[in-house]
Amino acid sequence: MNQYVSLIPVLDGSLDGDLDLVKLCIKNGGDANQPNEEGLTPLHSAACNGHAKIVNFLLENGANVNVVDDDLWTPLHGAACFGEVAVVRDLVQHGANVAAANAENDLPMDIAVEEKTKKYLTEVNDNRKKATQLYALYDFEAEEDDELSFSAGAILTIITPEADRDTTWWTAQSVNKAKGFIPANFVGVHYYCKWGILLLIFSNRSCTRQQRASTEAPYFYFCLSLTFQSCLTHKKKKTVFLAFSYMILPFLSNPIHYLQSDVVFSPF
């Protein structure tokens, strides 16, 4: 497929709400992340126009939920400003960064048109600032000795007290006990991984038994909260997948560590 065939129909279908066209293009080699001349991707177009089914399809097929256009607008910015609150929720649950700033330094909540959208995004951001454990939304390579490197999807324990979290840098600790400063807007309450069970297995294999004992229990309850949230949104298939791959299998493989860990996790 040439670029015109693969890109233009995907953008058009995302803009017009033509799910069948988008599916056909992606199936035949279309790139869900290919931007136009202004940096807009199919996910931007679908999110801005409230096409929830296309948004979810693109996310399930490799679309970058935090991609930015030339003005540093993410799909969440577009959904908050022009789209529907349901799309905003879907993006956030797939790891959209509620603390991402555009070129004018506006967060998605700052430009939200509907009051319920603004309220929801504000609550998510407040929960982010209160949480003891968060997901890394991006890769980060430390440039200074007192900074902490991490990869997207890593679970970080936030050490900075809640009262001091209105700053741009927080102190965090990784699962291997390394500590350092991290950009405060690089972490969030959700991180989506299509192959979550593989991520869990490999992340566990990279830790020692003692480290797993100190991190699996809070991680278990964290996944429990995600599963419960999925149940509330009536997404039955997603609920079953989360329960089986994130909770049941890991728990059965090593229940002692889950039940005897002395780490306390406060769900948000």
**Count of other CB atoms within 10 angstroms of residue 3:** 10
Q: What is the pTM of this model?
A: 0.71
Query: How long a stretch of residues is the chain?
Result: 268
How far apart CA 172 and CA 182 sit, in angstroms, is: 7
Q: Provide the greatest CA pair distance for the chain.
A: 57
204-241: string of b/e by CB count within 10 Å (b at 16+)?
beebeeeebbbbbbbbbbbbbebbebbeeeebeebbeb
Q: Cα–Cα distances in Å, from 241 out to 120, 168, 196, 215?
A: 25, 35, 9, 22
How far apart CA 261 and CA 253 sit, in angstroms, is: 15
The order of strands in the sheet holding 155-158 is: 179-183, 169-173, 155-158, 133-136, 187-188
In a domain, 138, yes or no: yes
Same domain, 217 and 180: no
Same domain, 166 and 243: no
Same domain, 111 and 61: yes
In a domain, 265, yes or no: no
Same domain, 96 and 181: no
Last residue of a domain, one of 112, 128, 144: 128
Same domain, 254 and 180: no
Same domain, 137 and 157: yes
Same domain, 96 and 211: no
Per-10-residue mean pLDDT, the chain, length 268: 53 87 89 91 95 94 95 97 92 95 96 95 95 94 96 93 93 94 94 54 40 40 50 51 53 49 33
Same domain, 66 and 161: no
Convert 55-70 into a string of H (helix), E (strand) and C (coil).
HHHHHHCCCCCCCCCC
Terminal C-alpha separation, the chain:
45
- Read off the tokens for 160: 């900075």
Last residue of a domain, one of 128, 149, 169: 128
> pLDDT value at position 30?
85
Domain that holds residue 111: 3-128
Same domain, 89 and 138: no
Q: How many domains does the chain have?
A: 3
Same domain, 99 and 136: no
> pLDDT value at position 68?
97
| One-character DSSP codes across 9-35 | HHHHHHHHT-HHHHHHHHHTT--TT--
| One-character DSSP codes across 40-106 | --HHHHHHHTT-HHHHHHHHHTT--TT---TT---HHHHHHHHS-HHHHHHHHHTT--TT---TT--
Question: Among candidates 41, 45, 46, which has minimal Cα distance to 56?
Answer: 46
> pLDDT value at position 20?
93
How far apart CA 213 and CA 179 sit, in angstroms, is: 18
In a domain, 266, yes or no: no
Same domain, 116 and 9: yes
How far apart CA 189 and CA 92 sit, in angstroms, is: 9
Q: What is the CATH number of the domain that holds 99?
A: 1.25.40.20
Same domain, 114 and 139: no
